[in-house]
Chain A
Amino acid sequence: MTGSKIGREPHIDEGDLIRLLDGECSSEESQRFGAHIDACPECRSNAESLRKASELFSNSLLELDSDAPATPKRELTFGKRIKRDRAWLSVVSPRVLRAAAALALMVLVFTATPARAWLVQGWRSLKSLVVSDPVYQPEASDVPEDPPLDMSSVLRFTPRGAEFRLEFTEYQTRGLLTLLIDSTTYASAGTIGQDVGEEMILLPNGLRVRNSSSSLTSYEVNLPLTLSLVEVSVAGNTILRLDVQSQPTPLSRELSLTAGNRN
């Protein structure tokens, strides 16, 4: 820490704020910086403006990318990869949640073979519909060795305040689950169940899970206790806005993802 001080505690310099935002700090540092940010409006403001600048940069790149010819292949991997072979493993220490902002933007994109997407009509009547992904064409490298499972999957979505459990209650085929979260909002996630070789990727602004085939995996996502609003969107379309704190808990909805429901 450098710079001027609040009380006896020096302010966090911007390099350390970036390290904190990027999950590069040790747990001790995360705890210390998080506690400081909670108490220091100046550092909180700095962290927020850096988060906004980071978001602006990411969005600007995406805009530039959209101007370029479409790439023929799906994005498969990037970010830090963490292999998941155990029942529960936290990606980010829950302590870093203290550093989180009050508002989280969560974009949930689930791409499964062959189904992708939810359509949700409001919180209280949450329901889903599978739409096919006309763009997705499995590549040779993306086809699981065992035959694709052609059966329905059920994704159980259980929000409990600032925690979400996304649970697949039936076997699913291979796919990607992406949680993009506001960059100052630290999320931890772990897998529960019979996951075998799940690959969890920690992105700068969220999490990505690459499902193995035949997986019966659940994901438990922990968001900050200060979280008030979550936006869920698929393919850029907002399908759900949740005022989390006003919801009675727990609520559970099952979202059917039917493998045979292709266009």
Chain B
Amino acid sequence: MYAVDLNALYLEHNEALTRYLTRLTGDRDGAADAAQEAYSRLLSHPPARDDNLRAWLFTVATNVVRDGWKKQQTALRLVQNQDGVPSPATPADPHDNVERLERLQAVREVLDRLSARDKTVLLMREEGFSHKEIAAAIDTTTKSVGTMIARALRKFAKELEAAGTLT
């Protein structure tokens, strides 16, 4: 059994992990919570091998986010009298450029419309994970990851174009 050096892991990976989770959820606080939960699980239920703890952390944190989404969807179904989904957007700074804010909002919306799996694939790729590591995280074959990435990229570009934010 190996010893988990949580401090070293945190220093080495936390910034990338938090960035990934923030992009995945659009919620910085939620990202920090999910990261915290992943570290906690690392201590309580460490993987059998320590040869790729980075990928393990990202995968576990992704699962934490997914579990949270499932709970949110259940809660939303229970609150039938609500109109629409509460927006996580923060109030706009009046000094900010309106066009830029609109573009950012469109990017966020398009990102959120991607399936959880597509989003995970693209964001893990963005963090430099190999197709093999991505495949392990979403429980699919390595060969199919390229196809999933291509399809998700096409969808993202098409929807962003449809949102009118591309010149």
Q: B107 contacts the other chain (Cβ, under 8 Å)?
A: yes
17 contacts between A and B (CB under 8 A): A15-B143, A15-B146, A16-B146, A18-B146, A18-B150, A22-B146, A52-B157, A56-B156, A60-B111, A61-B123, A64-B111, A65-B19, A71-B15, A77-B16, A80-B128, A141-B8, A201-B128
Q: Is A204's CB under 8 angstroms from B126's CB?
A: yes
How many Å from the CB of B113 to the closest CB on chain A? 13
Q: A42 contacts the other chain (Cβ, under 8 Å)?
A: no
Complex Cα spacing A18 to B130, Å: 12
Q: Is B125's CB under 8 angstroms from A204's CB?
A: yes
Please judge, given known A-B contacts A13-B147, A57-B153, A63-B103, whether A76 and B23 are in contact too, CB under 8 Å.
no
Within 8 A of A (CB), among B1-44: 8, 11-16, 18-19, 22-23, 28
Complex Cα spacing A54 to B143, Å: 19
Q: Is A18's CB under 8 angstroms from B22's CB?
A: no
Please judge, given known A-B contacts A71-B18, A203-B128, whether A15 and B150 are in contact too, CB under 8 Å.
yes
Q: Is B128's CB under 8 angstroms from A60's CB?
A: no
Q: Which 5 A-B pairs have the closest CB atoms?
A: A79-B128, A15-B147, A15-B146, A14-B150, A18-B146
Q: What would 11 more interface pairs be, CB under 8 Å, given A19-B131, A61-B126, A63-B103?
A: A14-B146, A14-B151, A14-B154, A15-B143, A15-B146, A53-B153, A60-B160, A64-B111, A76-B12, A79-B127, A204-B126
Q: Is B12's CB under 8 angstroms from A71's CB?
A: no
Interface residues, chain B, with chain A CB atoms under 8 Å away: 8, 11-16, 18-19, 22-23, 28, 103-104, 107-108, 111, 122-123, 125-128, 130-131, 143-151, 153-154, 156-157, 160, 166
Q: Is B107's CB under 8 angstroms from A60's CB?
A: yes
Q: Total A-B residue pairs with C-beta atoms closer than 8 Å?
A: 103
Complex Cα spacing A202 to B148, Å: 21
Q: A139 contacts the other chain (Cβ, under 8 Å)?
A: yes
Within 8 A of B (CB), among A30-66: 50, 52-54, 56-58, 60-61, 63-65
How many Å from the CB of B93 to the closest CB on chain A? 10
Complex Cα spacing A78 to B127, Å: 6
Q: Is B131's CB under 8 angstroms from A204's CB?
A: no
Q: Is A22's CB under 8 angstroms from B107's CB?
A: no
Contact with B along A95-132 (1 / 0, CB 8 A): 00000000000000000000000000000000000000
Complex Cα spacing A202 to B153, Å: 21
Complex Cα spacing A75 to B19, Å: 10
User: Which of B13, B125, B148 has most A Cβ within 10 Å?
Assistant: B125
Tell me the nearest residue of chain B to A74, going by C-beta: B15
Contact with B along A1-21 (1 / 0, CB 8 A): 000000000000111111100
Complex Cα spacing A112 to B8, Å: 22
Residues of B within 8 A of A204 (CB): 125-126, 128
How many Å from the CB of B70 to the closest CB on chain A? 24
How many Å from the CB of A136 to the closest CB on chain B? 14
Q: Is A139's CB under 8 angstroms from B11's CB?
A: yes
Q: Is B154's CB under 8 angstroms from A53's CB?
A: yes
Complex Cα spacing A107 to B14, Å: 25
Q: Is B130's CB under 8 angstroms from A24's CB?
A: yes
Please judge, given known A-B contacts A22-B131, A78-B127, whether A63 and B18 are in contact too, CB under 8 Å.
no
Complex Cα spacing A198 to B81, Å: 59
Please judge, given known A-B contacts A19-B146, A77-B12, whether A65 and B23 are in contact too, CB under 8 Å.
yes
Complex Cα spacing A202 to B146, Å: 17
Q: A69 contacts the other chain (Cβ, under 8 Å)?
A: yes
Complex Cα spacing A78 to B8, Å: 15
How many Å from the CB of B151 to the closest CB on chain A? 7
Q: A135 contacts the other chain (Cβ, under 8 Å)?
A: no
Complex Cα spacing A15 to B134, Å: 14
